[in-house]
Structure 1
C-alpha cells in the first residue's frame, strides 16, 4: 500500500524521511523548551516574556510539523510529478497554504525571544535602543511576510484550487529568495547584537568565551537558510517544495533549540554540583540572587548582583551597592556599563529647648 493517498502502486517518495525529520526535530526542540522552563521557573525563579514567546514559538513549530506530516499523505515527497494523483492537488495545496503561517510565526518567535532576553543584561544606552529597533524590524518584516504569503494569489483560493484558472500569482522564486536573504540579514543582526556588551564585560575570560560561543550557535541557523535558498532556486513544480519544507522544519526547530541552550546553564550547574556533592544542599544557590538568574521583567534594568539583576526599590539598591550582597559578588558582568545612582541622606537631630 502506497503512503500517498490515491497513488497507484509503490510510487517512489521521500515522505517517510520528511516525516521522521519533522517529528525528530520537533521532539528535540520540545525537550529543550521543557528544560528551559524548568531552569527558568523552578531553579532560578526568573521567568519572563521571552520564555512565553519561545513556548508559543514551539507550538507554531509543532503545528508546522503536523501539517507537513499530513501533507506527505497527499503527495509531499513524491519524486516524480506524474505520480501525483490529480485528486490530491486540492488538499496538497490547501495544506501548504495552512502551513506557511505556522512557519513564519515560529521563526519570528525564536528571534523575538532572543531579543527579549537581551533586555535582561544589556545596559541602558545605544545597545538597548538597537535591540528595540531590531525587535520592531523583525516583527514588521515577518508580519509583512505573512500578509504577502497569505495573499500570494488573486483570488486567494487560486493557491490551492487547481480549478481556478483566472487571476494571477506573485512569482514564487524571486519572492522567496528575497525573503530568505532578508531573513539571513536579520539572523546575523540578532546573533551579534549582544557580542559588544559581553566582550566588554568583566566576567572571567573562560565564562566570557563560553557565553560568546553559545550566542554564536545562531550561525547554524544562517547555514540552514543558505541551504533553503538553494532549494528555492531549484523550484520547478509544486513537488519541488519537499526539500524546502524539510529545511524549513529544521530551521525553525533548530532556532528554538539554539535559543534555549544559553538558558540551561543553571540546570547544568545544578546537576553538576548535585552529582559531585551527592546532596541537594546546593539548591539555595539557584534562587533569584544567583549569578545565573537574569533579572525578571518586573525588575528591569541592569546592575545588581553580578550585573544581571536590578533591585526593584531604592532601599534594595542601596543595600546592593554598600551592603553584604555586594561584598559577596565575585564578578560584575556590566560594571561601568550601566547607570548607577547613589542617594545619600543626612539626618540632623536638633536638640529641643528646655521649657
Structure 2
C-alpha cells in the first residue's frame, strides 16, 4: 500500500466511512486507519434504522434526509439490502395521538399520514388491538447493520480506491506525519472519528471543552418469529418513543404525554426505554432499547430491563416472543448537542456523533466536513 494520502481518517465506523465516501467522491486519495480487524462498535450494534421521522427539527432532521438519500444511492452499488422502508408509530393513548397530530402539522410531517379505525387495521394488521391511531411515514430505511458496514467498507475499497489499515492504533498526528502502531503514514489532512473512545487522540481537549461528554449503554434483543423472511413492512415505534425522539418530544403537546407516562410507565422512563422493532431477512426482529449513562458503562445486561422492553413490545404487538440473542451497545452522548466537529488544527478535525444518530446522519455530516476542509 502506498503510504502518502490527501486525507487520513481515524476510525472505520459509520462516521469514518461516511467521511471517506465524501472525500473519495471529491477525488481525494483516502486512507482509513482503525485499531480493530472489523467494525465492532455502535455502527454494527444498532438497528440499522436510518431514521428521518422524529429527528430533532432543524439541522439533525436535514442531515437525516440527506443521509437517507445517500444510503438509497449507495446501497445497491455496495450490495447492501434495504430490508424494508417506512415507519409506523403506534399510539394507544389520546395524549400520544395528540403529539402525532401536532407532528403532522410541522414541515417534518410532509408525506406522513395518521390512520385510525379500519384504515389502521388494514395498513398495520400486525398491531395488537387497543391502538388508538398510528402514524405512517415513508421517509425511513432499514439495513442490517452487521452486514451493511462491512459491505460499505468493501465498496469504498473496491470502487473508490480507499485504502484501509486495520489493527493499527494511531499514536500521534503531526501533519504530514501520522504515526501508527503499523508504521508512519503521510497525509495532507486528517479527520479523527473516535466513536465513544474519549481516551485517545485529543482526549484532553475533549475533556476541557465538553465535561458532560459521556457514554450511553443500550440493551438490545433479537427475537424469533415464525416467519421465514421479513415479517414487518416497516420499523415500528410506540408512545414511549414520542418522549424520546426530539422531533416529537420538543413539541408542546408532548408534555401531557410525558406526565401520563410518568404515572403509568415510570420504570420504562427511568431506564430510558422506548420501543423500536425492525425486521430482518431471516424472520427475526431486532428490538430495543434502553439508555443508561456513565463514563465507563458496566458490561452487564439486566434481565429486568429486557423484561421492561418486552412489556412495551407486547403492548404493541400482542405477544411476547422468545429471545434469540442479547447484546449491549454504547455510543457517545452529550445532553445538549447531536454531534461535535472540532477544529484541532488547520487541517485536522475531530468528529463525534453524540446522539445515537450515526446511521441516520453521518453521510450528511461527512459531506459538510469535507466541504468545510477542502472547499
TM-score normalised by length of structure 1: 0.24
Kindly indicate which of the two structures has a greater share of residues assigned to helix.
Answer: 1
Kindly indicate which of the two structures has a greater share of residues assigned to strand.
Answer: 2
Larger-Rg structure: 1
Higher RCO, 1 vs 2 (CA within 8 Å, ≥6 residues apart): 2
